[in-house]
């Protein structure tokens, strides 16, 4: 017992200062690369690591992830080239031909596709840069324009935000069903180290009820969002009509000339 208390008291908590450095760096809006670099060096120094070993660890981490920028930037270049040649316009023209489609129906369909593909591990099929910005958001705006021509910019931003939120929810709750997802592996490892034997497949299967509930709740939110847009449109049309009648009455009243 005395040995365990001595080991507990001898734990060095100073390496956690790297977390504080990261939080302060992001709050103060410093360069993210510089913040991570300083946090890594400060953590190593707090752990009493030699400076040469710290630099070696940083260099090894860089070599392992040096191809990551290429993987991230190459699809963005292709998408930007497609947008330059009218990808948004073609998407809007395509969806405008489906005059009976509402925003809630369209985004609910995308939510189902996004969640099901994420459950299969195909998380790269969607996303804000490669799917929401060039396709989903413009198509949602085109549907809203059919119902509300000349809608205000604030409403347009709300439509874009709801399209982005739909992608987030589909990815977040769909990937929890994929058995090789990092969070499932982490939970399995943690439970096994705690003496609880579990099967990663069972953990993934228990993510299905949560994903179904998230789908139903967000589908309901999409219907409420579409109804709120219709109410705002009717209020705007009523206000515009009232203003038109007021202007017409003011112009019809002729000023009386005193003799």
The string over 55-85, giving b where at least 16 C-beta atoms fall within 10 Å of a residue's C-beta and e elsewhere, is: eeeeeeeeeeeeeeeeeeeeeeeebeeeeee
Residues 243 and 136 grouped into a single domain: yes
Is the domain of 141 the same as that of 200? yes
For residues 22 and 62, the model is more confident at: 22
Query: Does 118 lie in the same domain as 55?
Result: no
What's this model's pTM, rounded to 2 decimal places? 0.66
The total of structural domains in the chain comes to: 2
* Whether residue 135 is found in the same domain as residue 219: yes
Query: For residue range 17-33, what is the model confidence (pLDDT) as tens digits?
Result: 888 999 998 888 888 87
Between 200 and 117, where is the model more confident? 117
Q: What angle do CA 101, 106, 111 make, to 5 degrees?
A: 165
Q: Could you tell me if residue 80 is inside a domain?
A: no
Residue 56 DSSP SS3: helix
pLDDT of residue 212: 95
Q: In the chain, how long is the greatest CA-to-CA distance? A: 111
Locus of tokens 């804000």:
128
Measure the CA dihedral 162/167/170/175, to 10°.
Answer: -150
Q: Are residues 56 and 100 part of one domain? A: no
Query: Do 246 and 121 share a domain, yes or no?
Result: yes
Are residue 36 and residue 150 in the same domain, yes or no? no
Q: Are residues 113 and 232 in the same domain?
A: yes
Tell me how far apart the alpha carbons of residues 153 and 148 are, in angstroms, rounded to a whole number. Answer: 12
Name, in order, each residue with C-beta under 8 angstroms of 127's C-beta and a sequence gap of 6 or more. 167, 171
Task: Tell me whether residue 17 is in a domain.
Answer: yes
Residue 137 lies in a domain: yes
Do 210 and 138 share a domain, yes or no?
A: yes
* Domain encompassing residue 51: 10-64
> Domain check: are 24 and 112 in the same one?
no
Segment 169-195 shows an average pLDDT of 84
């Amino acid at each position: 017992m005395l040995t365990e208390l001595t080991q507990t008291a001898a734990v060095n908590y100073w390496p956690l200062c790297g977390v504080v450095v990261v939080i302060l760096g992001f709050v103060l809006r410093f360069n993210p690369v510089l913040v991570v670099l300083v946090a890594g060096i400060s953590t190593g120094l707090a752990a009493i690591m030699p400076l040469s070993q710290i630099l070696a660890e940083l260099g090894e981490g860089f070599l392992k992830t040096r191809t990551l920028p290429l993987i991230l930037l190459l699809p963005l270049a292709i998408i930007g080239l497609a947008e330059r040649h009218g990808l948004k316009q073609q998407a809007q023209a395509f969806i405008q031909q489906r005059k009976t489609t509402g925003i809630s129906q369209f985004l609910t369909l995308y939510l189902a596709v996004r969640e099901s593909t994420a459950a299969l591990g195909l998380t790269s099929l969607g996303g804000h840069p490669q799917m929401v910005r060039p396709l989903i958001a413009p198509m949602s705006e085109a549907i809203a324009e059919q119902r509300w021509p000349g809608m205000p910019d604030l409403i347009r931003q709300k439509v874009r935000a709801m399209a982005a939120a739909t992608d987030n929810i589909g990815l977040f709750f769909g990937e929890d069903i994929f058995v090789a997802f990092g969070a499932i592996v982490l939970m399995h490892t943690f439970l096994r180290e705690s003496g609880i034997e579990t099967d990663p497949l069972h953990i993934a299967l228990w993510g299905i009820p949560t994903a179904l509930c998230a789908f139903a709740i967000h589908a309901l939110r999409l219907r409420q969002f579409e109804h709120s847009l219709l109410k705002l449109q009717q209020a705007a049309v009523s206000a515009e009509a009232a203003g038109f009648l007021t202007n017409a009455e003011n112009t019809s009243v002729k000023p009386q000339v005193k003799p």
